[in-house]
Amino acid sequence: MTSTDNDRVILVDEADGETGTLDKLEAHRRGVLHRALSVILADADGNLLLQRRADGKYHSGGLWTNTCCSHPRPGEPVMVAAARRLEEEMGIACGLVPLFAVHYRAPVSNGLIENEFVHVAGGRFDGTPRPNPSEVAAWRWDKPEAIRRDVAADPERYSVWFRKYLDEFGREIGRLAAGAGEGLTQG
């Protein structure tokens, strides 16, 4: 069986320069550095939209995380991929802006390794998500302070990457929740 572009990730160097492509599962088995994306949405009341990953996901199933996480396809710009995946996972179409980028490497479930250069986008959304049940088991809106308290009390309920975002980019996430991204298009 051959991989399609949908099954491949973009391999990158430490500066996010493209170096090739690899089957997504193989990249996670070997822990090869590749490009990824995340989306964090906030509503007008300063709540963040979280999802609980479907139990059947290839790793980190059942964990709470940010609104959407994925990988761009080869040749696909990151922000285009972020909008596409947000609609596929959560049934949401809204404007997005880049928030920050981060590299992390960490073991995750099923013997896999995340080694990702992640581009994190933010947006404003005040509607009701329509998640894909094969991607998302549950969703909730919550205040950043309440999320931080819950992560501190029970970190294993949350994805390793979302915990990193909260630890290292809390200020940027807080500004998003507080409405600092006034130029964002609402959904």
Q: What are phi and psi of 102, to 5 degrees?
A: -150, 145
* Whether the Cβ atoms of residue 96 and residue 84 lie closer than 8 Å to each other: no
- 32, 159, 37: which is closest to 96 by C-alpha? 37
Tally of CB atoms within 10 A around 136? 21
- Catalytic residue check, 69: yes
Question: Which of the residues 89, 114, 116, 135 is marked catalytic?
Answer: 116
Cβ partners under 8 Å of residue 167, min gap 6: none
Distance CA 170, CA 184 (A): 19
* Whether the Cβ atoms of residue 23 and residue 106 lie closer than 8 Å to each other: no
Direct distance between the N- and C-terminal alpha carbons of the chain, in angstroms, rounded to an integer = 39
Region class of 50: left (phi > 0), else alpha (psi between -120 and 50), else beta: beta
pLDDT digits (tens, 9 = 90+) for 69-125: 999 999 999 999 999 999 999 999 999 999 999 999 998 888 889 999 999 999 999
pLDDT at 5: 55
pLDDT at 185: 44
**What's the fold here for domain 5-177?**
Nucleoside Triphosphate Pyrophosphohydrolase (3.90.79)
Q: What are phi and psi of 166, to 5 degrees?
A: -60, -40
Q: Which residue do the tokens 């200020």 mark?
A: 171
Q: Is the dihedral of CA 2, 77, 35, 120 positive or negative?
A: negative
* Whether the Cβ atoms of residue 18 and residue 12 lie closer than 8 Å to each other: yes
pLDDT at 148: 96
Question: Which of the residues 68, 69, 89, 135 is marked catalytic?
Answer: 69
pLDDT at 6: 67
- Catalytic residue check, 68: no
Q: Against a cut of 0.75, is the pTM above it? A: yes
* Whether the Cβ atoms of residue 86 and residue 67 lie closer than 8 Å to each other: yes
- 118, 62, 84, 95: which is closest to 176 by C-alpha? 95
